[in-house]
């Protein structure tokens, strides 16, 4: 019996050392990621306060076509690749999105949907919120370096959380009360208060911190993305795949309007409840047009991804998890919800507030943990 107790104590001591030193190594990274994560949570709500250029006065005439919108936007960025064109409500500007990875470029041109006037040009790689997300993902370092540091630090953080729970768990049930609530008196030392802040707040936010860390790892590691999908019972291709056109495609019978320019009016008629349609022009003659149809403000998981033959406009089914949401399986939804869970948007405004507070507490854990170590090492 004594030998068994000694083995348990030794294991706990090893976990304590790993918890301590891994926390010291990754503490600054976790702190930066948590603080910048707090700043990113409400970026849509905050930017919505000063993006008046997105609103126009509706006119009693048809909107310009996709082809017209892209041609006008090309006068602003002639040599850049157009990623997609976003059509919203009657009082919303058309957004033509330019994106290319090499050399990296990400800007949008906003147009009046009725006369094509250029209303605004937005650089997505500038401003406060880009600075925040760059710190969250890359620590403001080059992507190939910073993204690796944040990814593996998040993975280590998951282990720190689990080991912290083992260390927190009291040996005797009668001591559980002490681990669950603050019992401070005027004589309670600051070291004790700091330990309570680290242990008690850490326990109460453990499940949320694990959720934030795990969803972050799914975005950071392809192998975790794939394993999570398969573990949830996924059977489809978890990658985003744009299907090819029908082999025997024939041009839609129209003497004046290109097939791609007929698609947005067609979709608006078929899906009147949709908030926006993001149409992506095919890169080659053989690939289909894909359209992302959004139904809810602030979330992405329940959007429909529909694919159309660029010559006939016949809808082409997708064999990947990115298709029509109502046809998605449980495993498909798990992956598609990942980002919205990570930022709390899955729960609306309340979910974002919870994510914000959880991230704020997570940011405090490396600080209180460092002070515990400092107080023990330098007792004076």
* Tens digit of each residue's pLDDT (9 = 90 or more) over 297-314: 999 999 999 999 999 999
Measured between alpha carbons, how far is 86 from 326 in angstroms, rounded to an integer? Answer: 22
> What phi-psi label fits residue 166: left (phi over 0), alpha (psi between -120 and 50 degrees) or beta?
alpha
Per-residue model confidence (pLDDT) at position 337: 97
Measured between alpha carbons, how far is 303 from 293 in angstroms, rounded to an integer? Answer: 5
* Tens digit of each residue's pLDDT (9 = 90 or more) over 5-51: 555 557 788 999 999 999 999 999 999 999 999 999 999 999 999 99
| Average pLDDT of the chain, as a whole number | 91
Q: Which two tokens stand for residue 20?
A: 């301590």
Find out whether 243 and 322 touch, Cβ atoms under 8 Å: no
Measured between alpha carbons, how far is 230 from 185 in angstroms, rounded to an integer? Answer: 51
Distances (CA, A) of 145 to 16, 219, 232, 277: 29, 16, 31, 35
Find out whether 319 and 305 touch, Cβ atoms under 8 Å: no
Per-residue model confidence (pLDDT) at position 249: 52
Per-residue model confidence (pLDDT) at position 1: 47
- Number of alpha helices (DSSP H) and beta strands (DSSP E) in the chain: 13, 8
* Tens digit of each residue's pLDDT (9 = 90 or more) over 99-150: 999 889 999 999 999 999 999 999 999 999 999 999 999 999 999 999 999 9
* Tens digit of each residue's pLDDT (9 = 90 or more) over 163-209: 999 988 888 776 777 778 888 887 788 888 888 899 999 999 999 99
**pLDDT score of 375 more than 90:** no
| Helix 348-377 and helix 2-41, axial crossing angle in degrees, nearest 10 | 130
Per-residue model confidence (pLDDT) at position 211: 97
* pTM for the full predicted model: 0.89
Measured between alpha carbons, how far is 41 from 292 in angstroms, rounded to an integer? Answer: 23
**CB-facing half-sphere around the CA of 152: CA atoms within 13 A:** 7
Q: Which two tokens stand for residue 2?
A: 């004594």
**pLDDT score of 254 more than 70:** no
């Amino acid at each position: 019996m004594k030998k068994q107790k000694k083995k348990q104590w030794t294991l706990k001591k090893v976990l304590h050392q790993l918890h301590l030193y891994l926390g010291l190594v990754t503490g600054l990274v976790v702190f930066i990621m948590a603080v910048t994560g707090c700043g990113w949570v409400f970026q849509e709500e905050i930017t919505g306060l000063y993006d008046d250029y997105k609103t126009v006065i509706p006119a009693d005439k048809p909107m310009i076509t996709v082809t017209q919108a892209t041609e006008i936007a090309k006068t602003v960025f002639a040599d850049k690749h157009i990623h997609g064109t976003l059509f919203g409500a009657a009082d919303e500007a058309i957004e033509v999105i330019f994106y290319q990875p090499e050399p990296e470029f990400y800007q949008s041109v906003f147009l009046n949907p009725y006369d094509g006037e250029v209303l605004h040009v937005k650089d997505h790689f500038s401003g406060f919120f880009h600075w925040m997300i760059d710190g969250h993902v890359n620590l403001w370092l080059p992507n190939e370096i910073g993204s690796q540091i944040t990814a593996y630090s998040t993975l280590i953080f998951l282990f720190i959380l689990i080991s912290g729970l083992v260390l927190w768990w009291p040996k005797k049930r009668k001591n559980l009360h002490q681990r669950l609530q603050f019992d401070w008196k005027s004589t309670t030392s600051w070291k004790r208060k700091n330990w309570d802040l680290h242990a008690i707040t850490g326990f109460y936010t453990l499940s949320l911190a694990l959720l934030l860390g795990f969803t972050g790892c799914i975005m950071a590691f392809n192998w975790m993305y794939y394993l999570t999908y398969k573990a949830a019972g996924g059977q489809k291709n978890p990658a985003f795949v744009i299907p090819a056109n029908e082999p025997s495609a024939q041009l839609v019978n129209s003497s004046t309007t290109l097939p791609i320019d007929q698609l947005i009016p067609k979709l608006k008629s078929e899906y009147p409840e949709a908030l926006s349609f993001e149409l992506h022009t095919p890169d080659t003659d053989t690939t289909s047009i894909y359209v992302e149809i959004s139904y809810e403000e602030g979330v992405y998981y329940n959007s429909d991804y529909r694919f159309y033959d660029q010559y006939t406009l016949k809808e082409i089914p997708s064999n990947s998890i990115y298709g029509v949401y109502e046809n998605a399986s449980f495993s498909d939804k798990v992956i598609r919800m990942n980002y919205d869970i990570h930022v709390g948007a899955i729960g609306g405004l309340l979910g974002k507030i919870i994510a914000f507070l959880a991230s704020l507490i997570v940011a405090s854990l490396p600080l209180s943990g460092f002070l515990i170590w400092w107080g023990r090492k330098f007792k004076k």
